[in-house]
A and B are shown apart, each in its own frame.
Chain A
Amino acid sequence: AQSVTQLGSHVSVSEGALVLLRCNYSSSVPPYLFWYVQYPNQGLQLLLKYTTGATLVKGINGFEAEFKKSETSFHLTKPSAHMSDAAEYFCAVRGQGGKLIFGQGTELSVKP
């Protein structure tokens, strides 16, 4: 069975600082991994995905994530935070039957 753990329910950074949101996964098969962002009162939007191939994945809005099989991790980073990055971020793994299994989410706050 697949599962996802996000470390830290809340992360606060200063504008211009590095953003690092942590995600570890468990999967009995090669995983398909995703990061989604949810702004207040909106649905989720896909930031990036890893299926196969290159382990460093670039997404929208300057975000990227690196798949590390040895560490079972898929951490999300952005070199320089912007105020507009404040949102809830969900890591997810594809489960059986096409189910998306989400982590508990990390709320990112950006201080001016």
Chain B
Amino acid sequence: DTEVTQTPKHLVMGMTNKKSLKCEQHMGHRAMYWYKQKAKKPPELMFVYSYEKLSINESVPSRFSPECPNSSLLNLHLHALQPEDSALYLCASSQILGEKLFFGSGTQLSVL
């Protein structure tokens, strides 16, 4: 299994809602990542987990809250988002930090 599975594929939420994005991999990878990607732009790193510990937070606003419950799962909790947070959110994993990342297909998020 070489897949990173993200759910949901699409999400529409209001600015007062609370929602969560989920990511799962069963490749035994110990590094997991959240990226944000705007249309026609490269992915921007948000968070990195290494061995289930948060190792990088790219000064992301607190309305985004990551969680790594175990080595296979990565969540991104969303609360009080702004319309400018609308984007494609990509999860990735790798065996070695920063090498050969496997990406999921992403969650297309729209904030109204």
* Interface positions of A (Cβ within 8 A of B): 32, 34, 36, 41-46, 49, 51, 90, 94-95, 97-100, 102-105, 107
Query: Does B65 touch A at the CB level, under 8 Å?
Result: no
B99 adjacent to A42 (CB under 8 Å): no
Report 9 cross-chain contacts, Cβ distance below 8 Å, ordered by A residue: A43-B103, A44-B103, A46-B102, A49-B100, A97-B55, A97-B56, A99-B98, A100-B45, A100-B101
* Interface positions of B (Cβ within 8 A of A): 4, 31, 40-43, 45, 48, 50, 55-56, 90, 92, 96-106, 108
Task: Pick from B96, B98, B104, B105 the residue with the most CB of A within 10 Å.
Answer: B98
> Least Cβ distance of A101 to chain B in Å?
8
> Least Cβ distance of B99 to chain A in Å?
7
Q: Which residue of A lies closest to B55 (CB)?
A: A97
A104 adjacent to B98 (CB under 8 Å): no
A99 adjacent to B41 (CB under 8 Å): no
A49 adjacent to B99 (CB under 8 Å): yes
A94 adjacent to B42 (CB under 8 Å): no
Partner among B42, B101, B103, B105 whose Cβ is within 8 Å of the Cβ of A41: B105
B103 adjacent to A97 (CB under 8 Å): no
Q: Which residues of A contact B56 (CB under 8 A)?
A: 97-99
Q: Which residue of B lies closest to A44 (CB)?
A: B103
> Least Cβ distance of A18 to chain B in Å?
25
A46 adjacent to B42 (CB under 8 Å): no
Q: Which residues of B contact A107 (CB under 8 A)?
A: 40
Partner among A44, A95, A105 whose Cβ is within 8 Å of the Cβ of B101: A44
Q: Which residues of B contact A103 (CB under 8 A)?
A: 42
B48 adjacent to A97 (CB under 8 Å): yes
> Least Cβ distance of A109 to chain B in Å?
14
Q: Which residues of B contact A41 (CB under 8 A)?
A: 105, 108
